[in-house]
């Protein structure tokens, strides 16, 4: 099976365990997710199957959208509700105008420090393991892009925010830093990923619904094409001869508009064939990744 499920990961479940359940349900050994969600968070978790796993890296080119619940006045070591409280602050003087002013500091290109309790690695060890061992780890600030940051609900000490951001952005760090800017401290109370590139929570499915569809034999219609994550790429239709050349690793001469450096290629039956990149030296479009048929879900029902 080659395709993508738009899974709505439940809170309290790791991304790894969600993928493992999908793998078991559809009987597909090759599966992976397109961007980790913290166990506390729920929402959009694209799960790539079969040959689609080779395209998961391109999902990171898209922005992510979150609905974040923030509690003011309470700071935790993990920057979220699962951590240990390290400080408390007074929120009585926090106004909606003050919050709006603070949010303005975090729009656009920013620098932020990832939480100590994160999956980032230091000398091969995840930071959260080092933190649990009591080791003090210095973390450098990293660039992040906040495209949209809106206050949706103001009910002190709780705030609800909508955030659209780039890869590598930590919403936990955003909540923590915003609390510091307000002078009262804060942590992330809850988080929902509402969209990730072409995948929206309105179109997502729960693991329970996937299992029901498998039992009914209607699960095939839930699989999205694996080239769904390539909408930012140009498109080329190849002749039969060109398809054969690509499958043997040969470059192609193609007439393509200026400024295009990468293409998703299809055969005359609209089957997805390959990813092509332009080589300025040879002036050829060389195959970067080649995909083989079949690329659709099999007719037989998997074993749940």
Tell me the catalytic residues.
38
Residue 288 buriedness (CB in 10 A; 0-12 / 13-18 / 19+): exposed
Task: Give CA separation, 216 vs 205, 221, 302, in Å.
Answer: 15, 12, 11
Beta strands per DSSP E along 184-251: 186-196, 199-200, 234-237
**DSSP 8-state secondary structure symbol assigned to residue 280:** T
Beta strands per DSSP E along 82-185: 85-88, 108-112, 121-122, 125-126, 142-155, 158-165
Task: Look up tokens 């240990």; give the residue.
Answer: 84
Name the H helices within 121-206.
127-132, 171-182
């Amino acid at each position: 099976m080659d395709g993508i499920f738009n899974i709505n990961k439940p809170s309290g479940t790791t991304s790894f365990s969600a993928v493992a359940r999908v793998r078991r349900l559809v009987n597909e050994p090759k599966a992976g997710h397109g961007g980790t969600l913290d166990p506390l968070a729920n929402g959009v978790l694209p799960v790539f199957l079969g040959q689609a796993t080779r395209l998961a890296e391109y999902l990171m080119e898209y922005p992510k959208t979150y609905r974040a619940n923030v509690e003011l006045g309470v700071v935790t070591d993990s920057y979220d509700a699962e951590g240990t409280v390290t400080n408390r602050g007074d929120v009585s003087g926090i106004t909606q105008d003050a919050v709006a002013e603070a949010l303005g500091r975090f729009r656009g290109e920013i620098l932020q420090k990832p939480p100590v309790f994160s999956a980032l690695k230091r000398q091969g060890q995840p930071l959260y393991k080092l933190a649990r061992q009591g080791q003090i780890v210095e973390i450098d600030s990293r660039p992040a892009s906040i495209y949209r940051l809106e206050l949706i609900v103001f009910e002190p000490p709780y705030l609800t925010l909508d955030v659209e951001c780039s890869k590598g952005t930590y919403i936990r760090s955003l909540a923590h830093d915003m609390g510091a800017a307000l002078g009262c401290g804060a942590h992330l109370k809850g988080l929902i990923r509402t969209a990730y590139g072409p995948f929206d929570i309105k179109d997502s499915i729960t693991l329970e619904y996937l299992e029901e569809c498998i039992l009914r034999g209607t699960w095939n219609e839930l699989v999205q094409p694996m080239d769904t994550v390539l909408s930012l790429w140009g498109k080329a239709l190849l002749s039969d001869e060109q398809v054969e050349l690509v499958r043997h690793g040969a470059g192609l001469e193609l007439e393509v508009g200026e400024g295009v450096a990468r293409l998703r290629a299809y055969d005359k039956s609209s089957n997805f064939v390959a990813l092509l990149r332009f080589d300025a030296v040879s002036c050829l479009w060389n195959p970067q990744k080649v995909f083989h048929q079949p690329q659709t879900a099999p007719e037989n029902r998997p074993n749940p």
